[in-house]
Amino acid sequence: MNILNRYITTAFARIFFISLSAFTGIYLLVDFFEKVDNFMEHQARASQYLQYFIIKIPLIVSQVIPLAVLMGVFMTLGGLSRTNELTAMRSGGISLWRVTMPLLLVSLMASASVLTANEYLIPLCATKSNHIYEVEVKGKPPLALKRDHLWLREGDKILNISLALPEQQALQGITIFQMGEAFSLFERTDAPRATFSEGKWFLKNPVVRRFDPESAELSDIERMQEKPIEMEKTPTDFRAPEQSNDEMGFRELQSLSLKLQAEGYDATRHRVDMHARLASPFACLIMAFIGIPFALKKGRGANLSVGVAISVGIGIAYHILHAILLAFGYSDVLPPLVAAWSANLLFGLLGVWLLLSARE
């Protein structure tokens, strides 16, 4: 039986790595044509081109590996069926589960590899690629790459912002230190939230504490409903790159979401992405369950074009459903745990049902 395992695994690995290289290359090509105008507009160096796309390869691989698994499973079983090897195995008393077990085991190993990479490797690559594209190429200040606990200086004021929400044109947890001569503090303003309207920032329910410039003792406390502040930065300046949560692993997202919840801020998006860090890698195993019954049904007709079409079609359907459910989670329609795992559950049940209903 070890010989059979090696034979099936070797056939799968050959198709898997070819498919993974092809899907990664296509992804890189599409990404290159999307970004090349910005690179040229900002007169980026050739080294920045190379660094950006090379560093993105691990992130791309983690996203397309389920398609490669699906392609590998489909073409491996299709090839065994086309050459009558599958029929010979079945005639020799080898069950369908025994034939597919090596494929499921390798798919589970792929899921574990992606899970590990999502925690340790992918955040580093995402951070570096975002830095190259946003800071080195576009020339944005490093602030644009941060999301929480920002420190700014505006003239004689120092601002601390707990969380920037550029999509909502809002800031959460703002503290403003008004400095005087010799860098002495004479006023501190704390507000739970600030919103951007008509080109200005407005603090909501701020508390202003004033200090005696000579003794530095608290001299006055004033509470307001709203207070405008002068700040040159707009919500766009706080906008982080797309998919900026890719810069954090599960533990970092968990720590950040717990911290924001403890401070009374909305952490829904971070909680959804936190659960998605665990759910997404298991798409490899789900794709294997889906690919096996499709390959068995196609049998001798499992050629390359059919394999590509089925792999891409199922992969697109999975990612669309997964994206829709995550969007429901972001908007609080679904709990974060349900939003992150529902696509896996639905496709997993479909794959198991198709596998159980396959003809013995």
Q: Which two tokens stand for residue 339?
A: 């939003």
Are residues 170 and 57 part of one domain? no
Predicted local distance difference test score (pLDDT) of residue 242 = 41
Write out the two tokens for 184: 């002495």
Per-residue pLDDT 10s for the chain (360 aa) are 588 888 899 999 999 999 999 999 999 999 888 888 888 877 878 888 888 889 999 999 999 999 999 989 888 888 887 777 877 887 777 877 788 889 999 999 999 999 999 888 988 888 888 878 777 777 665 554 455 678 888 778 888 888 887 777 888 889 988 887 766 788 899 999 999 988 889 999 999 988 877 777 888 888 989 988 888 888 877 765 444 667 788 888 888 788 777 766 678 888 999 999 999 999 999 998 888 887 777 655 555 566 677 777 888 899 899 999 999 999 888 999 999 999 999 998 888 787 777 654
What is the rounded CA–CA span in Å between residue 250 and residue 270? 10
The reply to whether 338 falls in a domain is yes
- The distance between the two most distant Cα atoms of the chain, rounded to a whole number of Å, is 95
Residues 131 and 156 in one domain: no
| Same domain flag for 65 and 170 | no
> CA angle at residue 105 from 14 to 100, to 5 degrees?
75
- DSSP label of 152: E
Query: What domain range is 17 assigned to?
Result: 2-135+264-356
Distance from C-alpha of 358 to C-alpha of 297, rounded to nearest angstrom: 7
pLDDT at 138: 73
**What is the structure's pLDDT at 241?**
46
Count of all residues that appear for the chain in the document:
360
- For residues 277 and 230, state if they share a domain: no
Structure tokens at 198: 């008509």
Evaluate whether 308 touches 321 at the Cβ level (below 8 Å): no
What pLDDT does 24 receive? 93
Contact indicator for 135, 145 with CB cutoff of 8 Å: yes
* Domain shared by 39 and 104, yes or no: yes
Query: Is the same domain home to 11 and 87?
Result: yes
Asked if residue 257 belongs to a domain, the reply is no
Closest CA to 257 of 336, 152, 166: 336
> Is 9 found in the same domain as 93?
yes
CA atoms within 13 A on the CB side of 50: 3
Determine the pLDDT at residue 1: 55
Q: Count CB neighbours of 77 within 10 A.
A: 28
CA nearest 201: which of 181, 230, 176? 230
Question: Is 251 part of any domain?
Answer: no
pLDDT at 352: 79
Same-domain check for residues 9 and 130: yes
332 Cα distance to chain centroid = 18
Instruction: Of 235, 273, 238, 268, give the one whose Cα is nearest residue 253.
Output: 273
What distance in Å separates the CA atoms of residue 110 and residue 310, rounded to the nearest whole number? 20
* Residue 248 lies inside a defined structural domain of this protein: no
Cβ atoms < 10 Å from Cβ of 23: 23
Residue 278 lies inside a defined structural domain of this protein: yes
DSSP 8-state symbol, 248? S
Position 327 in a domain: yes
Give how far Cα 311 sits from Cα of 16, 30, 57, 160, 293, Å: 12, 19, 21, 48, 13
Choose the final residue of a domain: 238, 273, 302.
Answer: 238
Instruction: Name the domain count of the chain.
Output: 2
Look-up: residue for tokens 């501190």? Answer: 188
- Who's near 204: CB < 8 A, 6+ residues apart? 191, 192, 193, 194, 195, 225, 226
Same domain for 221 and 297? no
State whether 183 and 58 are in the same domain: no
- pLDDT, residue 146, reads 55
Do 127 and 179 lie in one domain? The reply is no
182: left (phi over 0), alpha (psi -120 to 50) or beta: left
Let me know if residue 247 belongs to a domain: no
CA-CA distance, 199 to 236, in Å (whole number)? 12
Burial of residue 69 (CB within 10 Å: 0-12, 13-18, 19+) is buried
Of 68, 64, 59, 73, the C-alpha closest to 19 is 68
Do 204 and 278 lie in a common domain? Answer: no
Q: Which of 148, 6, 52, 74 is nearest to 302 (CA)?
A: 74
Strand duo 185-197 + 200-204: pairing: antiparallel
Q: Pick the closest to residue 337 from 326, 321, 350 (CA basis).
A: 326
